[in-house]
Homo-oligomer: A and B are copies of this chain.
Amino acid sequence: MTDEAHEEFTKPWDQLTAIVESGDAEKLSDYLKSLPPGEPARALSRMSKDEQAGVLETLPETDAADLLTELPGEQAAQLVEELPVEEAAVIVGEIESHAQVELLARIDHQEAVAILDHMEPDEAENVRALAAFPRDTAGGLMITEYVAYPEDARVEEVLDDLRTHSEKYARYDIQYAYVVSVEDHLVGVLRLRDLLLASLAASIRSIMIEDPIAVPAATGLEDLQRLFGRHAFYGIPVIGEDRELVGVVRRSDMERAAEQQANRALLKFTGIVGGEELRSMPFLLRSRRRLSWLSINVLLNVLAASVIAWYQDTLAAVITLAVFLPIISDMSGCSGNQAVAVSMRELVLGLIKPREHFRVLWKEATLGLLNGLVLGAVLGGVAFLWKENVALSLVVGVALAINTVLSVCLGGTIPLLLRRANQDPALASGPILTTLTDMCGFFLVLSIAQAAMPWLAGY
């Protein structure tokens, strides 16, 4: 309570609104910089759309651009959509090319086109070219702000150029300089450190790293992760079809993309379609996205539960079984999801190929047998303590044991099969798994019970 009471006096969103109303750009900028990291994003998410747009419009352009890049992607996109196109174009123009592409990809297409039309033609052209590369490829992740020199340049010339354009390059994130042939082919990489230590008269060809590792623009995120994992590079040059230099993928951008991918997978696995939802997003969009997943699940659930309907007479004779059906369903889901998660992880780490389902099947079947026996014994034991009927506890224990083996086998292999079929394991594994294991679980409990009816009836 004291925390909340305290916040009443210091709500940063109220302060922001007040400063925007006063129109004092400098004060606004200072106040935002005084907030702890992350707090501007939270504060904006508490303000109305107009108030948020007011903050961006009041701020100096570069500060507005900095603020935008600090926000979560979805939040930044919503904000830009609220701005007048001219204002948006000016602010977006201040952002790094690579972040421009990411931001514009998230906003409404027509709005994005309008913003590009209001930007400087060169810059807009660059963004359009970058946007053509798919997300999570070298082309989609690369920056185009790099420095390249012809191979016959001398160290002194390079240092002169760096010094002359230091203002321009200050915006760049220079860790390496690249060396290109007359045909613009990438022939070498210069480390700043080597440039620092070399004699001024030396040719850069003599100190460059020759035959540098470079990747085509279509290289996927997983391959990039492994390359960076293997080499202590800060950036890897990206080349076009003729080995011409087109950009640089930085380690930090690759790692951020990988983190985002892992997060999207987590969210998809729990039924967040698209891998993204913030509570500041429009109500109907959130509802529709969640429902698109839930409505498939409700139909699959009906399908699975229809197995119970076939055995209605068995269930009527032994009504106690109705208590155990949801338990079997939920436990099989838990066991199977563990196996799904391990398979997804091993796929990401490259420890397993999609075609190696027999290996996974063997590993999971043996584990499932042991865990199934333990869980079956626990549930059978609980059933016995409750009803003191050996047959009943055998029915539910054996059914859970068998279904545990089935669900870990299915859980382990479904992601591999989905990946082989070029489907996204994160989104589809869960519903497929639970539908199959529910059907099998209900069938096992009820069919075994039917066979054991003479010892069960009346419970």
Give A residues with C-beta under 8 Å from B.
3-4, 36-39, 41-42, 45, 70, 72, 75, 159, 162-163, 166, 169, 173-175, 192-193, 195-197, 222-223, 226-227, 229-230, 232, 234, 251-252, 255-256, 258-259, 262-263, 265-267, 269-272, 277-280, 283, 286-287, 290-291, 293-295, 297-299, 301-302, 304-306, 308-309, 312, 315-316, 319-320, 322-327, 329-331, 333-335, 337-338, 340-342, 345-346, 349-353, 355, 359-360, 363, 366-367, 370-371, 374-375, 378-379, 382, 386, 434, 438, 442
Q: How far is the CB of A427 from chain B (nearest CB, A)?
A: 13
B323 touches A319 (CB 8 A): no
Contacts of A353 in B (CB 8 A): 42
Contacts of A352 in B (CB 8 A): 42, 279
A340 touches B70 (CB 8 A): no
B272 touches A341 (CB 8 A): yes
User: In the assembly, what is the distance between CA of A448 and CA of B183, in Å?
Assistant: 79
User: In the assembly, what is the distance between CA of A337 and CA of B324, in Å?
Assistant: 23
- CB-contact partner of A330 in B38, B295, B329, under 8 A: B329
- CB-contact partner of A375 in B298, B312, B324, under 8 A: B298
Given contacts A38-B226, A371-B290, contact A326 B301 (CB under 8 A): yes
Contacts of A262 in B (CB 8 A): 259, 262-263, 266
Q: How far is the CB of A386 from chain B (nearest CB, A)?
A: 8
| Tally of this chain's copies | 2
Q: How far is the CB of A62 from chain B (nearest CB, A)?
A: 13
Contacts of A195 in B (CB 8 A): 196
A72 touches B338 (CB 8 A): no
A162 touches B326 (CB 8 A): no
B337 touches A323 (CB 8 A): no
A349 touches B295 (CB 8 A): no
User: In the assembly, what is the distance between CA of A342 and CA of B271, in Å?
Assistant: 10
- CB-contact partner of A327 in B302, B323, B340, under 8 A: B302
A331's nearest neighbour on chain B, judged by CB, is B298
A173's nearest neighbour on chain B, judged by CB, is B232
User: In the assembly, what is the distance between CA of A175 and CA of B193, in Å?
Assistant: 9
Q: How far is the CB of A410 from chain B (nearest CB, A)?
A: 15
A342 touches B277 (CB 8 A): yes
User: In the assembly, what is the distance between CA of A350 and CA of B72, in Å?
Assistant: 10
Q: How far is the CB of A155 from chain B (nearest CB, A)?
A: 11
A289's nearest neighbour on chain B, judged by CB, is B338
User: In the assembly, what is the distance between CA of A409 and CA of B449, in Å?
Assistant: 38
Q: How far is the CB of A335 from chain B (nearest CB, A)?
A: 6
Given contacts A267-B345, A341-B270, A342-B272, contact A371 B294 (CB under 8 A): yes
Residue from A306, A322, A327, A382 whose CB has the most chain B CB atoms within 10 Å: A322
Q: How far is the CB of A402 from chain B (nearest CB, A)?
A: 15
Contacts of A252 in B (CB 8 A): 251-252, 255
A331 touches B258 (CB 8 A): no
Given contacts A286-B367, A367-B286, contact A322 B315 (CB under 8 A): yes
B330 touches A301 (CB 8 A): yes
Contacts of A333 in B (CB 8 A): 330
B338 touches A323 (CB 8 A): no
User: In the assembly, what is the distance between CA of A322 and CA of B345, in Å?
Assistant: 37
Q: How far is the CB of A297 from chain B (nearest CB, A)?
A: 5
User: In the assembly, what is the distance between CA of A28 and CA of B277, in Å?
Assistant: 48
- CB-contact partner of A341 in B45, B266, B299, B329, under 8 A: B266
